Amino acid sequence: MRYLLTDLLLEETDQEFIERITRHRNSTVLPGSKIIKNCSGSANKCETNVFYFIKEHPKFEYYPVKGFGFYLGTPIEHWWVYNKITNRHIELTPMSAGGFDKYIGIIGYDVRDKIFEVDKPFDIPFFKAGNIEKFL
């Protein structure tokens, strides 16, 4: 089950934490309407969907993004794909209720090459839940 940001942080620090993510040199913030919905993956498997999508498309400049999707103002830990050539973001995970209203995350430019060196997503810390602070 995905960790809610509110489970990880306390009241006043929530906004500070989100601001830290947005100040990261590889941060991205976008409204849900700007993401391309290619919901070809499995529900509730966003990190594995992203890992295997990138692994299956080595000739494209796809990068994983780790962060939060916001549903009715509630942040939920989430992963999606960034296409560096088109400067567009891709949602791979099918969701009910139309998906997220907003996305905030960190593009894993240094993670892409590691995907081709391992067999499983959880061999790479970037794909483990609950540790986004390690990348700030």
Q: How high is the pLDDT of residue 19?
A: 84
- From start to end of the chain, where are the E strands? 27-31, 36-37, 62-71, 74-83, 88-91, 102-107
E strand or H helix at 17 = helix 13-23
In the chain, the percentage of residues whose pLDDT exceeds 70 is: 90
Domain boundary assignment for the chain: 5-135
**pLDDT by residue (tens digit) across 21-31?**
888 899 999 99
Q: Across all residues in the chain, what is the average pLDDT?
A: 87
pLDDT tens sequence across 41-88: 999 999 999 999 999 999 999 999 999 999 888 888 999 999 999 999
